[in-house]
Structure 1
């Protein structure tokens, strides 16, 4: 089960460490060998795997094949039984859209609007169909509108078949991931990218009806003259700010609705997760407006990577941290295997090690090795690009462990031993940023650089906090409670012309209780109905004092402390340009960490000493090799030569 984004397996909360194995890309004869390699060489006990719809049901007039009747690689029920036999758990990911470099994102060709006009295409604001390009269709094929009746019926049939024929009775499966990175890897796209199809606009009008009741009530707030909801048009850059905020809110409820109907179609009773792609820099407000886990009910948040090398790219770092902080949940795809397809820095494990630890330090509850195994046995209907897939994972296409395997095994082993305690420890962070998401919708549509927005203020706050070496929290102002807000000494909020009365009252009460409210922009003078309301009195800025953990060196550092015991976890993430050791303040005094450029370390500190740890000392991509080590009170624990250092349960491994 999942509780507040944390996986609970056999009754124990765990840092969810998983590895992806795309069974459909491999010869079934090697499934067992590859699964054993993940278990034995990587120390990972939970497998993730997509179930490509186009693989299991290539023809519209036939039932899905889950037993290998039409092709051995379709025997996913056998694959799951093999996982159970080997003591492995599984998170199943049936889409219906999966990306995963599979042709048409895993959708069968027969749901394409070009193949069958009964399938309504997904449209952008200009009326142009959204297209999916791949090696089989370089110019792209139109994607079906998710909520249109024809596609929704067939997608529901597919997901229901997966639930009944694959997941029911599959003892290995512990959770379900629905969709991929939004709907069609589209979670980070601008709000103008979708959904302007007839079904999408019908959803928008239905939401307006639910929020306002009558067109007359809507007109009274927006200054419009609609006589019927059918007359309501989607807002654009020239619309009023409340209409723009409504479009952002509609996007959030649209995503929630797609998740709800797809998860409900599976009908398995398993915990359900999603994996959002991090925001882009230009469309940060669009992402913030759309991604509202508070609306998802029992569906848990998760996210992916795929946006750059965070140890060397400030934009990538900010996007990654914001995604990890948005809500508790695991990183469900961390790049451990693709250098040729994405960035040559991933040829070395230091890059993925750094990012996996950053996700956990920033707030994630687990990480995924994507993919754990290289595969090489798929047909052209799945992917027209020859293998192996991927090019540099921990287990190669022959089933042998690569130089990345010991790094994964050390991290997996550390969190297998200490994961529950790590999650019990509380991040040391004293300041928060308050997300006021109506401003995100306004900024996403208006395009005004100086108008109301959320992303600009958040990015500036992130950079200030990083420069000071301080961790921070993200809180969503329309749902956060007074008790939750009271945990922070300050909350920074974006400024603008209006703000919900309840939010203003919450912030005013927080300030009266001693909290500091910092406003980035003009003070709100109106409530959500544009009635006079000016309840916020801003506090003076916080003094710029040395509070961060890093005393010397180019690195980010995060500390978690146990509420009841003298136990702390220190994560040190070395930037690519660093030279020399990282010197840090800790509860036990000054600690010195030596790690590779672009690498990092995780240390357990207990009872005044450095306990277990994992430190990456090598980064072949950057030509860096150091004797990984840590020094406290003159006592050094380190590698005997250039290389990594791992100590688990008090033993060097």
Structure 2
């Protein structure tokens, strides 16, 4: 806590914390001054910087500490804790004009500006303004965004630091010497749950494509890596069927499976736990979520992307909750989730067998899997200040960068090339060189230190696949062409990508800088490789119906005969199939396929679902 979400009134906060019930609490406000409401009961959310709320949060967390301390590891079984939920009030993938505009938050913004610039004269010089004091500097709004980008970069930094600093303050009050966990929402346009009488916050259509920009601007998880462990959540649609909302019917062909690609990209953001997977929330989210195929498919996608664990939700009975605790969710179904693998009385549901299947597999193979690594054939470099500016930039000829990051992220994922993601300010040259090929979409400004870092990366043997024009200004908008001058004279190590972000165009450019995917697969499928010293794990996902597929792992073929939306993980060692876990039963389509796998001299047949191991425990 103190805000826990869980589809409760005010996200679990007491009534006295909400301005809806306590006029002495300052509301959290959006860019236009309107209060920020909690979707589930339409209560007004409090400013996290309100002094009374801040004091109550401190009192609460210190009381929680006293309750949990005797049970914390090693004396007890609590091995980690999560503070807050999806950063502040579930806004980790909300646009930057959603919160932080009330007076207490704006005062924090002004304090950050003073810390960054020192005095108002330095601020005015950098911004071309004539403010008399920091307290006169307004935050940006959709109606009147600043005409110069540095102000947008400043506010993007504040959106990040606001989330980080609150987390750290709460952690200090909790005071437990345990790993700190987070649960960041997916890199996706916000998904609207099936909440009655909920009016979704409007996002201007011309800015909707910038969802990846605002995510990277306010969630700088690499720069915060010493503070908490990254974790992701799964609420971005139905990955097996490429459904990005809570109501659309499945189409006969999924086409370019963007839901899957976003899911995989979120898992690749940084290694950590899949903190929330949709094990049976078919009332709040898509009705297909009642089928075991959906959470198993998505759990395997998250692990393929790099997740080091996953959460399974078991059912609780909330039918007896009163309106003072839950005015919405309990009315949809008496248990939560409605189709959980294990119900509130310990009874098993339709998802139980599938949950037990993958649980059995990872209980045996989890240690070996974690000793392998997702292959990293290149790295996507991100500079958060660019994303902060692009978050407010409409997609028109005068602002071509708004939305480019999302297009590049999906395009790179679609190639099948193994990659990771790095925030440039958080990595040293030595760390960047661990993955010697980097992809970057340039913006026109960058801190001089970061320009020199990239120049050194190339001069020491790194390769850049560069898109757009290199920066010509530093982070304070002063002329700075360190990187541009270096790249203009570099004889090797730089390739300019002039095509679009389509798969073939990106693959062609990547090949020119020496990147060839370790895994190759036909259209309508996807495969991911984790490579260890001796062993390899291959994750396979079928997007079509019944097919005979051949995928190639480091040039070696794996033949698969699959059913509709079959997914699997295979453990390989040289020319042997050491183990497998297959989810072949498609409950939605009523298909129990015969899944056949042939690798080297090994061939196995699985009727529907199954896992097996060729070696004893």
TM more than 0.5: yes
Structure 1 residue aligned with 2:170, among 247, 250, 262? 262
Check whether the contact 1:553–1:581 (CA below 8 A) recurs between aligned residues: no
| Aligned partner of 2:77 among 152, 167, 172 | 172
Aligned residue number for residue 373 of structure 1: 315
Deviation (angstroms), 1:243: 1.0
1:488 paired with 2:435, answer yes
Rounded to whole Å, the distance in 1 between the matches of 2:580 and 2:572 is 9
Contact 1:433–1:458 (8 Å) recurs in 2: no
Q: CA deviation at 1:569?
A: 0.8
> Structure 2 matches for 1:1-20, cutoff 5 A?
none
Does residue 554 (structure 1) correspond to residue 524 (structure 2)? The answer is yes
Aligned to 1:100: 6
Alpha-carbon distance change, 454 to 262 in structure 1, aligned in 2, over 3 angstroms: farther
Worse-matched range after superposition: 502-511 or 377-386 = 377-386
Deviations along 1:248-274, one digit per CA (max 9) or x if unpaired, are: 011110000111111212112221111
**Superposition deviation, residue 621 in structure 1:** 0.8
8 Å Cα contact 2:186-2:263 kept in structure 1 = yes
1:249–1:102: structure 2 CA closer, same or farther, 3 Å change rule?
Answer: same
Q: Which of the residues 454, 471, 484 maps onto 1:524?
A: 471
Query: Residues 99 and 223 (structure 1 numbering): CA distance in 2 closer, same or farther, change over 3 Å?
Result: same
Q: Which moved more, 1:586-595 or 1:160-169?
A: 586-595
**8 Å contact from structure 1 (residues 122, 143) kept in 2:** yes
Is 2:445 the partner of 1:539? Answer: no
SS in 1 for 2:577: strand
In structure 1, which of residues 392, 399, 405 is the aligned counterpart of residue 352 of structure 2? 405
Shift of the 378–259 alpha-carbon distance from structure 1 to 2, 3 Å rule, reads farther
Whether 1:584 aligns to 2:551 is: yes
Q: What is the match of residue 48 of structure 2? A: 146
TM-score normalised to the size of structure 2?
Answer: 0.84
Partners of 1:345 and 1:621 within 8 A in 2: yes
**SS of residue matched to 1:293:** coil
Task: State the Cα distance separating 1:605 from its structure 2 match.
Answer: 0.7
- Matched residue, 1:68: none
Match status 1:504 vs 2:451 = yes
Whole-Å separation in 2 of the counterparts to 1:168 and 1:378: 31
The structure-2 alpha-carbon separation of the partners of 1:521 and 1:373, relative to structure 1 and needing over 3 Å to count, comes to same
**d(CA) in 1 for partners of 2:352, 2:169:** 39
Deviation by residue 1:521-561 (Cα, 9 ceiling, x = unmatched):
22211222322314242414463667462443522111111
Aligned partner of 1:121 among 27, 36, 42:
27
Q: Deviations over 1:100-128 (max 9, x none)?
A: 11122111112111211211100011110
User: What is the correspondence of 1:238-637 to structure 2 with a 5 Å cutoff?
Assistant: 238-281=146-189, 282=208, 283-296=211-224, 297-313=226-242, 314-369=257-312, 371-376=313-318, 378-380=320-322, 381-384=324-327, 385-386=330-331, 387-450=334-397, 456-529=403-476, 530-536=478-484, 537=487, 538-541=494-497, 543=508, 547=517, 549-552=519-522, 554-562=524-532, 565-575=533-543, 577-587=544-554, 589-637=556-604
In 1, the alpha carbon distance for the partners of 2:234 and 2:325 equals: 23
CA contact (8 A) 2:418 2:517 kept: no
Deviations 1:39-62 (A, max 9, x none): xxxxxxxxxxxxxxxxxxxxxxxx
The CA RMSD over aligned residues, in Å, is 2.3
Distance between the aligned counterparts of 1:553 and 1:226, measured in 2? 57
The answer as to whether partners of 1:442 and 1:452 remain within 8 angstroms in 2 is no
Q: How far apart are the structure 2 equivalents of 1:514 and 1:622?
A: 51
Which of 604, 609, 612 aligns to 1:644? It is: 609
Task: Give the TM-score of the pair, scaled to structure 1.
Answer: 0.79
Structure 1 residues 407 and 553: alpha-carbon distance in aligned structure 2, compared to 1, 3 A threshold: farther
Q: Which has the higher contact order (CA 8 A, sep 6+)?
A: 1
Distance 1:133 1:427, change over 3 A: closer
In structure 2, C-alpha distance between the alignment counterparts of 1:483 and 1:579, rounded to whole Å = 46
Q: Secondary structure at the match of 1:613?
A: strand
1:184 aligned counterpart, secondary structure: helix
> Any unmatched runs of 5+ in structure 2?
190-207, 243-256, 488-493, 498-506
Gaps of 5+ in 1: 1-94
